[in-house]
Amino acid sequence: MSTNTVRLHRVICAAPDKLYNAFLDPAAMAKWLPPHGFSGQVHSMDARVGGSYRMSFTHLSSGQQHHFGGEYLELVPGQRICNTDRFDDPNLPGEMRTTVTFTPVSCGTEVNIVQEGIPAAIPVDGCYVGWQQSLQLLALLVEAP
């Protein structure tokens, strides 16, 4: 089974702690993580090392849902989050690993994301577009006064 990796980088005008919290707050995640055209719902979240989360995206036009979840492997407040992700859909097998690092810079925070183990059935360019849309929504959320 082949898999893919995406790497993203963005500077967001907000403090690292504010960004870190937006990744672990269920209401915030439901607002910024779903890419354009989707709504999101966090079904459960236990944000601690060894804890897990469950979430779904719903496509607004078709009503199609994607359920997924994972386990938190590493949580360093304001600095780093590492978690697994697994889709419920048997056509999207395997476990992904997402690592997010937050580095303070002069105008906010440099955010680096590495997502590994993306199922081959998911186009890499689609992953990049989805993440870029999500990060745009994240910036709108955390950069607000």
Mean pLDDT value across residues 111-132: 94
Q: What is the CATH number of the domain that holds 28?
A: 3.30.530.20
**47-78 tens-digit pLDDT:** 999 999 999 999 999 999 999 999 999 999 99
Q: Evaluate whether residue 42 is within a structural domain.
A: no
Domains contained in the chain, number: 1
Full-model pTM? 0.94
Cα distance between residue 97 and residue 111, in whole Å = 16
Which domain does 106 fall in, by range? 3-36+74-142
Q: Evaluate whether residue 63 is within a structural domain.
A: no
DSSP SS3 for 21: helix
Reported as half-sphere exposure (CB side, CA atoms, 13 A), residue 67 has a value of 6
55, 69 Cβ separation under 8 angstroms: yes
The pLDDT of residue 18 is above 90: yes
Two structure tokens written together for 110:
């440099």
